[in-house]
Structure 1
Amino acid sequence: MNFLKYIPHGCLLFFLIAALAYTSCKKIDGYNSVVSNDKTKPGVVTAVKVVNFNGGAYITYTLPNSANILYVQANYAISDKATRQTKSSYYSDSITVSGFAASKDYKVVLYTVSRANIKSDSVVVVVHPATPPYQLVYASLVAQNAFGGVNIHALNKTQDPIGIVSLLPDSNSTRLKIQDQHYTTTDAINYTLRGYDTLPKPFAFYVTDQWGNVSDTMYTTVHPIFETLMNKQLFQPYVLPTDVPNYQNGYYNLSNMWNNTSSEPGYNTEQPILASPTKPFIWPAWATFDMGQSARLSRYMCWFRTGGSNEFVWNSGAPETWVLWGREDTPQDEVMPADSTQLPAVGAKTPGGWINMGKFNAPPKPAHNPLTNEDIDTWNAGFNFDLSIDLPKVRYLRLECFHTMGGTDNYFGIMEMSVYGNPQ
């Protein structure tokens, strides 16, 4: 079944940009311009060699001994329905052909083209690409039950641009309707689609690439797990002796972290300059609170401080690396691991009984300088952090910060935190 017809043209922009970026390095001014009056047919490339890779091949050659050569052109079919043309300047002794739909023999026709736009005789080369990246991703694709929906994960070892398309039957027909299109170049793909009730869902998934190739389709019935926003009215601080004090106690209190607003004042830990002489400031720092009920947690969201001039965006005491600890029994105080590389495994406990719910990293700062309005809007929308589906029920949570975005590593702050899970 051809699922390309289900892909809206606007959603292919990701792949268009990727393709342009890939081919731009091959662009040479004057490819299509006549810059010589020498109409002599150029010689052909010789000593051709092929090195195949996933979805493509490198072709090396020796150019004819002529100053009139402008570029080498490769024409080739990448599937039964699509062809490509690639060019490489006379400064290079190689050309890359890519986008093939399968791992099999393909004919590539090479020409040299002169400065007068005269083509040589053809040289036919046979390439046999290794398995294309989109097929590798499809072979590793797994969809499983998740809180509120379905979790999708796969491996993209080549880190090529690919898209995973998720579909469900239309409520008024059996026709499949796109639910989500996830485009990425990351190697370890792991994301969750949420917002579904707990009734079985007959999902379908396929993988596509920037050349329009489409994998087979995987069908699976997903049983979303119930999740709800935990009741913040039940939350309260559970201060233990080693917990870090609040900054300006009474103003930047821990309880501000669940007051349903990301506006000032949020929660902020004590800063070193204000630390008591009898209780030196300790880093890393942690704080503990009670959700008021036990639940299997699915995820949480955090909003960080913005500032009137956006001076705190990806800066200051916003946590960059932290761990979330949890437990259901009455908390025991202990000094938590001082190094984020020395944590127990996710789901395992410290000697004092705190369960590692996961180590987390804030999304990296965008490359834009200064930050764009879109960057700031993304920041203000908050960030979602998923938890392992295998974690046990917990009631008490402990946030331990290791590094901050501003590099201060001596205090941290969170404006608002929302926790989701199943208390049933």
Structure 2
Amino acid sequence: MKPNKLIITGWLLIMVIVISNCKKEDRSPYGTDGTAPDAISNPKVTNLAGAALISYTLPDNENLLYVKAVYDLKGVKKEVKASMFQKKLLVEGFGDTEERTVTLYAVSRSEVVSQPVEVKVKPLAPPILNVYRSLKTDSTFGGINVKYVNNDSANIVFEVLVIDSVGDWAHVDFNYTSMKQGSFNIRGFPPVERTWGIYVRDRWDNHSDTLKVKITPIYEEALDKTKFNDVRTTFASYIPQHQPLPNSGIPMANAVDYSSSYPMKNLYDGNITSMFHTKEKYDLPLWIPIDLDKSGASKFVLSRFEIWQRTGTFIFNHGNPHHWQIWGTNNPKIINSNPDNTDPNNGWVKLGEWTMTKPSGWDVGQNSNEDIQVATDGQEFEFPNGMPPVRYIGWKNIDSWGSIDGYTGFFHLFELSLWGQKK
């Protein structure tokens, strides 16, 4: 064998031996001292919502590695560990306020445990019960509206049921949240009274009671987007100039397509991956007018709309809308100087104003998993009750996430859908 090959072979053997020894060491305890550490002392309990915080004094043992708490959770033994640098630990997941026992152990580097120390904990009402008590329901277009308060910002799930045709409970939807308060809607039901059930559960599968209510959904239908039409050119000279207006002093103008690859028709083509994108660095607000029925046969009392943001790194950022208004009219050529006009046959009527918020509340450019999920699923907004029937709408984009309170910017969305009552 050549010398070079002998050297290489020798080094390989050394490496194998070293790796083998490392693996053996990884399987062994952190230490070889078989002495049990002293027990923790002075335990103090602070009862919390569905949990308890236990503080204590650590033993003065050099071989101490961590403290563990052992407790029963719905018949399953749970362990929580806290390092030797901490003097407290949290036990959680309790679905009621019953008193229970938690056993604490000090553990050495050799995984030898101390004598047990038992403490009693009596958790406060868990978040699911507090949320359950806050539930308020009402009828809404196509379904039921549920409002809630979640003061603990707990990660919870709302499960929604209905009584089916044979009298059994049937699951229809669920809603995840960690927001302190909010509401959600379950849609897609005809205007027929039915019995609904709503309960709350958490990540430990604790359940609240089921709230049972009788609700009759309000009639609505999805607008046929194949009948929508871009009327920017047709009514370019008829844009209502109500505040807010461009800081530059020039009149608010129609949005301009960024390129032929991102035309306005993409906004309502039924595809939540194609995009309408306007030119950048244009004066804000921008105006985007749409004819809801190019045949001229129908007007609509609008109930709600849903938008799908441009996703990826653009979620709650870039040109996705942040603050906007929607106006409506039946005669775009009539410009009424009164911003509070309520007659769509005599000018534009302000149908509503919205500011998009992030579930996490984090800064632009930082998104939680819930932020990403909400944007991907589509975001729903309701029109105020009592709005008149209109044929045309104008989306007035006041600012976008990449230009909050800015004077110039742009707009993009994957898709816009609307619902209402045809008149």
Give the CA deviation at 1:88.
1.1
Change in CA separation of 1:58 and 1:151 when aligned onto 2, cut-off 3 Å: same
2:321 alignment counterpart: 319
2:71 alignment counterpart: 76
Give the CA deviation at 1:398.
3.1
Q: 1:301 aligns with which of 277, 301, 306?
A: 306
2:16 alignment counterpart: none
Give the CA deviation at 1:367.
5.9
User: Structure 1: how far apart are the matches of 2:44 and 2:136?
Assistant: 38
Q: 2:141 aligns with which of 138, 147, 154?
A: 147
Trace 1:179-190 onto structure 2 (pairs within 5 A): 179-190=172-183
Change in CA separation of 1:325 and 1:353 when aligned onto 2, cut-off 3 Å: closer
1:103 alignment counterpart: 97
User: Structure 2: how far apart are the matches of 1:32 and 1:77?
Assistant: 29
Give the CA deviation at 1:98.
0.8
The RMSD of aligned alpha carbons is 4.1
2:410 alignment counterpart: 411
More moved, 289-298 vs 81-90 = 289-298
Trace 1:119-198 onto structure 2 (pairs within 5 A): 119-171=113-165, 173-198=166-191
Give the CA deviation at 1:164.
0.8
1:218 alignment counterpart: 211
Whether 1:113 and 2:118 are equivalent positions in the alignment is no
Change in CA separation of 1:311 and 1:335 when aligned onto 2, cut-off 3 Å: farther
1:55 alignment counterpart: 50
Give the CA deviation at 1:203.
1.4
Change in CA separation of 1:83 and 1:140 when aligned onto 2, cut-off 3 Å: farther
CA contact (8 A) 1:244 1:270 kept: no
Residue 57 of structure 1 aligns with an amino acid whose one-letter code is A
User: Structure 1: how far apart are the matches of 2:336 and 2:41?
Assistant: 74
Give the CA deviation at 1:311.
9.6
Residue 411 of structure 1 aligns with an amino acid whose one-letter code is F
CA contact (8 A) 2:143 2:188 kept: yes
Residue 399 of structure 2 aligns with an amino acid whose one-letter code is H
Give the CA deviation at 1:261.
6.6
User: Structure 2: how far apart are the matches of 1:82 and 1:283?
Assistant: 59
CA contact (8 A) 2:48 2:124 kept: yes
Give the CA deviation at 1:45.
1.0
Deviations 1:303-343 (A, max 9, x none): 5679xxx898876544233222446898644597xxxxxxx
CA contact (8 A) 2:44 2:55 kept: yes
2:256 alignment counterpart: 247
Trace 1:325-364 onto structure 2 (pairs within 5 A): 325-326=327-328, 332-333=335-336, 354-355=349-350, 357-361=352-356
TM-score with structure 2 setting the length: 0.71
Give the CA deviation at 1:248.
6.9
Deviations 1:168-197 (A, max 9, x none): 2344x4332221122222222322111112
Give the CA deviation at 1:300.
1.5
Secondary structure at the counterpart of residue 160 of structure 1:
coil
2:395 alignment counterpart: 399
2:21 alignment counterpart: none
Residue 256 of structure 2 aligns with an amino acid whose one-letter code is Y
Change in CA separation of 1:261 and 1:175 when aligned onto 2, cut-off 3 Å: closer
1:37 alignment counterpart: 32
1:205 alignment counterpart: 198
Change in CA separation of 1:391 and 1:89 when aligned onto 2, cut-off 3 Å: farther
Change in CA separation of 1:67 and 1:356 when aligned onto 2, cut-off 3 Å: farther
Deviations 1:79-111 (A, max 9, x none): 5x4442211111211111111112242221111
CA contact (8 A) 1:296 1:423 kept: yes
User: Structure 2: how far apart are the matches of 1:303 and 1:314?
Assistant: 11
> Structure 1 stretches of 5 or more lacking a match?
1-29, 273-281, 337-343, 369-374
Change in CA separation of 1:133 and 1:414 when aligned onto 2, cut-off 3 Å: closer
Deviations 1:339-368 (A, max 9, x none): xxxxx9xx9xxxx98445231428798869
User: Structure 2: how far apart are the matches of 1:127 and 1:288?
Assistant: 61
1:283 alignment counterpart: 284
User: Structure 1: how far apart are the matches of 2:273 and 2:205?
Assistant: 45
CA contact (8 A) 1:299 1:385 kept: yes
2:7 alignment counterpart: none
| Percent of aligned pairs with the same amino acid | 27
Secondary structure at the counterpart of residue 136 of structure 1:
helix
User: Structure 1: how far apart are the matches of 2:55 and 2:108?
Assistant: 19
CA contact (8 A) 2:267 2:275 kept: no
2:22 alignment counterpart: none
How many residues are treated as equivalent by the alignment?
A: 360
Change in CA separation of 1:416 and 1:210 when aligned onto 2, cut-off 3 Å: closer
User: Structure 2: how far apart are the matches of 1:127 and 1:69?
Assistant: 25
Residue 303 of structure 2 aligns with an amino acid whose one-letter code is S
Residue 285 of structure 2 aligns with an amino acid whose one-letter code is P
CA contact (8 A) 1:247 1:271 kept: no
Trace 1:76-95 onto structure 2 (pairs within 5 A): 76-79=71-74, 81-95=75-89
Deviations 1:219-240 (A, max 9, x none): 1122111111235537674532
1:11 alignment counterpart: none
Change in CA separation of 1:67 and 1:31 when aligned onto 2, cut-off 3 Å: farther
Secondary structure at the counterpart of residue 139 of structure 1:
helix
CA contact (8 A) 2:321 2:401 kept: yes
Residue 296 of structure 1 aligns with an amino acid whose one-letter code is V
Deviations 1:251-271 (A, max 9, x none): 898777556677989574796
Secondary structure at the counterpart of residue 130 of structure 2:
helix
CA contact (8 A) 1:40 1:118 kept: yes
User: Structure 2: how far apart are the matches of 1:405 and 1:256?
Assistant: 20
CA contact (8 A) 1:316 1:404 kept: yes
> Structure 2 stretches of 5 or more lacking a match?
1-24, 242-251
User: Structure 1: how far apart are the matches of 2:329 and 2:104?
Assistant: 66
Change in CA separation of 1:411 and 1:161 when aligned onto 2, cut-off 3 Å: closer
Change in CA separation of 1:140 and 1:247 when aligned onto 2, cut-off 3 Å: same
